[in-house]
Amino acid sequence: MQTLRNLLLPFLLLIAAFACSPDKEEVEPEVEPFEPTPYELVLPKTFPQNFKVPADNPLTEEGVLLGRHLFYEKRLSGDNTMSCGSCHQQEKAFTDGRALAVGIDGVAHRRSAMSLSNLLWFFLFNWDGSALSLEDQARIPIESEIEMHQSLAEAVKELQATGLYPPLFRKAFGSDTITEERILKAIAQFERTLISADSRYDRYLLDEGTFTEDELEGMKLFMTHPEPGIGLRGGNCGDCHGGVLLSMRTFHNNGLDEVLTDLGYGAVTGREVDKGKFKAPSLRNIALTAPYMHDGRFQTLEEVLDHYNEHIKENSPHLSPLITEATNEVGGKTLLLTEEEKRKIVTFLHTLTDSTFITDKRFSDPFK
Amino acid sequence: MKKAGLNYLLLLMALPLLAACSDEEATAPAATVQVELQNMVGVQPLQLDASTYTSPAGDTYVVSNFKYYISNVKLISSKGEATFLEPESYHLIGGEGKTTFELKEVPAGTYDKIELSIGVDEAHNHSTDQVGDLDPSNEMVWDWDTGYKFLSLVGTYTGDTGNGGLVFHVGGDVNYKTLTLDLPQALNLRQQPNATLRLQADVNELFQNPNLIDFDVMHAGGHGAGPSMIAENYSNGFLKVVEVK
């Protein structure tokens, strides 16, 4: 064994020596070594630990800081009046309070701005799942005519001409050069740090806080698929909005319309069965993100509960079986929760508000 | 370019030496066994949303989502020669999930049975441990008390007297079932250090044997007697090993 190692070592050293000697023409004058600091995510143990960050865009302190600036950077819009933060406002859990989002030209988007939290665990973005990564997603609002209406190439030029950005890009990516890809990567890094994990519900799960009787019953109703045959009552919400993320990350038709005007996920996949399906979004901070649904049609959570309990459009194409098969009475055709039960579910939804998240300085506008 | 070529050459020369090195250090050769799972309805591969099937009770149905947990996988030699228990053994099968998994570092020996469970054992069902495919954010989480859904099947049906949605969510500690399946031929890992076990699951077996499920009578359920009937069915003939290769 010893002799083998003795033989092997010079060989390996030789290989290493050759591999490591740099080509002359490749040598570039290094101004300062590029060593960004890894960004540490702090997660409670109740949260899934198996998230994936793209290998070519690891989270770094410098990248996240740059991303935060870009998220709130109005120069990314055509007339320098609007940033991501205009439609995704921190105090409203990164929504805008409008039914339909409105871009720089005053034209309404066909959909409502989405709340941004715990995106780290999601893999399809937008109401219709049309973006496969946060990097891809970020290009859409910048370039869309009805949102920020600016070509990314133009944004690159504008930012390159500032005093602020070249040094921030150097710290994040190793050189002053601003590129479209680096802008998108930095924004995505910032978005991945937007973690909401400190609501009263989280503290309850961690045994660090308590629920009132109503909140507890509301939670149980929320999570339970009803089975009238054995007297088990439930609101069935957990089938689609369950788990610690308050979203199963799945797409469904929840019975809003008989005639579909927005095909949602179906327009993306091209499959008949997906028409009218939308992402069942996370309900974290839901009390802060009214109005509700992809087109902001409901003003209050009470209206949302009325929808699920009384106004499901039975003939909506591909209405989810999880909804058609949920009733609290034997032979019932609708959900049939009592007024009292609906109220308790709404009470539970209020425990999902995370005031740490909406006041966290790390997520706030750095220009203010 | 020239230099890279040289490096490779040197590496190539060094490789046999490295191999010789590790050979001497290894104690017993360990094997890797690939487990392949295919979901079927009868003799046809299950297709989500695309095909209409006939249940054992004569109703027709379409499956749009189908997932289940396989856990605590064991390889057994009936001669008592060896057993192998996969550590952190929790696999979510079906849907968009994986259909194969690998048993690593299996000690050499001849195995003729595989033992596995459908569901999640009590210890892990109620804990925040996230080993294997246990994930508090996947579709299989229920509420914190009940634990995970062991098996979930969602679709639509047309019965003799009605039609509608098909929603079976089976979970709860009583429905955790352990099954022992015979291999169609013994697996000799000494002769075959890289083997594959091909398993099939038959969705129709969820609805018969011993309990015939008529969708007109039952087409949804998660708790109570109904799902337990399905759990009894999935411990009888639902899974089988069809090939050792």
Q: Which pair of tokens denotes residue A208?
A: 């660090």
Closest CB to A321 among B137, B166, B222: B166
Looking at the complex, report in whole angstroms how far the Cα of residue B241 sits from the nearest Cα belonging to chain A. Answer: 31
- The DSSP H or E segment spanning B165 is strand B163-171
Residues of chain B with pLDDT under 70: 1-28, 95-98
Q: Which pair of tokens denotes residue B65?
A: 């989502």
In the block, residue with structure tokens 């002799």: A3
Q: Is residue A12 pLDDT above 50, yes or no?
A: no
Interface residue of A14, A49, A314, A325 to substitute, partner B, most B CBs within 10 Å: A325
Domain that holds residue B238: 31-244
Tell me what pLDDT residue B95 has. 67
Q: Name the least confident of A60-74, A262-276, B69-83.
A: B69-83
Q: Sorting pLDDT into bands at 50, 70 and 90, what band is A350?
A: very high
Burial class (CB in 10 A: 0-12, 13-18, 19+), B192: middle
Q: What is the mean pLDDT of chain A?
A: 92
Q: Which pair of tokens denotes residue B116?
A: 């596995």
Q: How far apart, in whole angstroms, are the C-alpha atoms of residue A255 and residue A318? A: 9
Interface residue of B49, B128, B137, B168 to substitute, partner A, most A CBs within 10 Å: B137
pLDDT per position as a tens digit, B231-242: 999 999 999 999
Beta-bridge partner residues of B179: B116
Q: Tell me the three state secondary structure of residue A227.
A: strand
Using a CB–CB cutoff of 8 Å, tell me whether A25 touches chain B. no
Domains of chain A, start order: 61-195 (1.10.760.10), 200-352 (1.10.760.10)
Closest CB to B167 among A7, A23, A325: A325
Whether residues B137 and A321 touch (CB distance < 8 A) is answered with no
Closest CB to B128 among A11, A45, A249: A45
In chain B, what residues touch A238 (CB-CB under 8 Å)? 142-143
Instruction: Tell me the average pLDDT across A350-368.
Output: 98
pLDDT per position as a tens digit, A121-180: 999 999 999 999 999 999 999 999 999 999 999 999 999 999 999 999 999 999 999 999
Within-domain flag for B93: yes
Q: Is residue A28 pLDDT above 90, yes or no?
A: no
Within-domain flag for B107: yes
A:B CB pairs within 8 Å: 108
Within-domain flag for B167: yes
Within-domain flag for B78: yes
The residue ranking higher by pLDDT, B15 or A235, is A235
Within-domain flag for B25: no
Within-domain flag for B21: no
**Chain B: residue whose CA lies nearest to A226:** B221
Instruction: Tell me the average pLDDT across A279-293.
Output: 98
Looking at the complex, report in whole angstroms how far the Cα of residue B108 sits from the nearest Cα belonging to chain A. Answer: 25
Looking at the complex, report in whole angstroms how far the Cα of residue A368 sits from the nearest Cα belonging to chain B. Answer: 35
Tell me what pLDDT residue B12 has. 44
Q: Name the least confident of A7-21, A276-290, A319-333.
A: A7-21
pLDDT per position as a tens digit, A302-348: 999 999 999 999 999 999 999 999 999 998 999 999 999 999 999 99
Q: Sorting pLDDT into bands at 50, 70 and 90, what band is A29?
A: low
Interface residue of A13, A223, A314 to substitute, partner B, most B CBs within 10 Å: A223
Tell me what pLDDT residue B96 has. 54
Q: How far apart, in whole angstroms, are the C-alpha atoms of residue B134 and residue A312? A: 33
CB B62 within 8 A of CB B49: yes
Q: How far apart, in whole angstroms, are the C-alpha atoms of residue A83 and residue A228? A: 50
Q: Sorting pLDDT into bands at 50, 70 and 90, what band is A31?
A: low
Q: Which pair of tokens denotes residue B13?
A: 């020369």
Whether residues A46 and B222 touch (CB distance < 8 A) is answered with no
List all residues of chain A from 102 to 161 with a beta carbon under 8 Å from chain B: 121
Summarize the annotated binding site of A for heme c as residue ranges. 84, 87-88, 237, 240-241
φ and ψ at residue A23, rounded to 5 degrees? -70, 140
pTM comes to: 0.89
Could you tell me the CA-to-CA distances from A267 to A277, A278, A295, A316, B99 in Å, in that order? 9, 11, 16, 16, 28
**Chain B: residue whose CA lies nearest to A321:** B165
Whether residues B219 and A12 touch (CB distance < 8 A) is answered with no
Task: Give me the torsion for CA of A20, A21, A27, A29, rounded to 10°.
Answer: 70
Q: Name the least confident of A72-76, A219-223, B103-107, B128-132.
A: B128-132
Closest CB to A1 among B24, B154, B223: B24
Within-domain flag for B18: no
Tell me what pLDDT residue B47 has. 92
Q: Is residue A281 pLDDT above 80, yes or no?
A: yes
Closest CB to B137 among A225, A243, A323: A243
Q: Sorting pLDDT into bands at 50, 70 and 90, what band is A22?
A: very low
CB A131 within 8 A of CB A137: yes
- Counting the structural domains of chain B, the total is 1
Within-domain flag for B19: no
Tell me what pLDDT residue A189 has. 98
**Chain B: residue whose CA lies nearest to A21:** B3
Whether residues A227 and B223 touch (CB distance < 8 A) is answered with yes
Q: How far apart, in whole angstroms, are the C-alpha atoms of residue A114 and residue A89? A: 10
Whether residues A232 and B143 touch (CB distance < 8 A) is answered with no
**Chain A: residue whose CA lies nearest to B11:** A15
**Chain A: residue whose CA lies nearest to B227:** A227
